[in-house]
Amino acid sequence: MPQPGENIPHPKLRGEWAELRFMQRATERGFRVTKPWGESAPYDIATDHHGHFLRVQVKCTLYKRANSYPCTICSSHVLYTPDQLDFFAALVIPTDTWYILPLRATNHQPVITLSPHLPNSKYGPYQDAWHLLRRKSKP
């Protein structure tokens, strides 16, 4: 039986669906979420945790290569910069696995490889790392 989202053939519609899924998951974890008006912002969602806003670009992947999932994290072959966003939220649709990745963790690569079945993989520490979106408490 396919996972939700696997039957959405158009990439743009599938991306919009992933954004909705991100907003749902973030809200369940106590974040407020904000979606910028229009499509001119370089990020999809802003999360708010006790007044601490972070800009998140949501990506998703459906296609398996070997035992992993390549995920494109650029926009029309252009890499994102720190002045545009803070995090990527990448959803591996077939396994319903989220990765919360700081921009710097992607090493300025246009495509990353996600391996939900390997917790010790390169991006394993970012699997379901929703805590990274929380404001650090003051000492």
CATH of the domain at 93: 3.40.1350.10
DSSP 14: H
Q: Which pLDDT band holds residue 76 (cuts at 50, 70, 90)?
A: confident
Q: What CA–CA distance (Å, rounded) separates 46 from 43?
A: 8
More confident residue, 1 or 61: 61
Tokens of 4: 């939700």
For the segment 19-48, the average pLDDT, to the nearest whole number, is: 95
| 55 belongs to a structural domain | yes
On the question of pLDDT at 1 being above 90, the answer is no
Number of domains in the chain: 1
Task: Count the Cβ atoms, other than its own, within 10 Å of residue 54.
Answer: 20
Q: Which pLDDT band holds residue 39 (cuts at 50, 70, 90)?
A: confident
| 3 belongs to a structural domain | no
Q: Which pLDDT band holds residue 2 (cuts at 50, 70, 90)?
A: low
Whether residue 90 contacts residue 98, with contact meaning beta carbons closer than 8 Å, is answered with yes
- With CA atoms as reference, report the closest residue to 88 among 34, 19, 29: 19
Whether residue 70 contacts residue 61, with contact meaning beta carbons closer than 8 Å, is answered with yes
- With CA atoms as reference, report the closest residue to 18 among 41, 36, 44: 44
Structural domain span for residue 88: 11-133
Q: What CA–CA distance (Å, rounded) separates 105 from 95?
A: 22
| 117 belongs to a structural domain | yes
7 conformational bin, left if phi > 0, alpha if psi -120 to 50, beta if neither? alpha
| 2 belongs to a structural domain | no
For the segment 20-41, the average pLDDT, to the nearest whole number, is: 95
| 37 belongs to a structural domain | yes
- pLDDT of 4 reads 76
| 19 belongs to a structural domain | yes
Whether residue 56 contacts residue 86, with contact meaning beta carbons closer than 8 Å, is answered with yes
For the segment 114-138, the average pLDDT, to the nearest whole number, is: 88
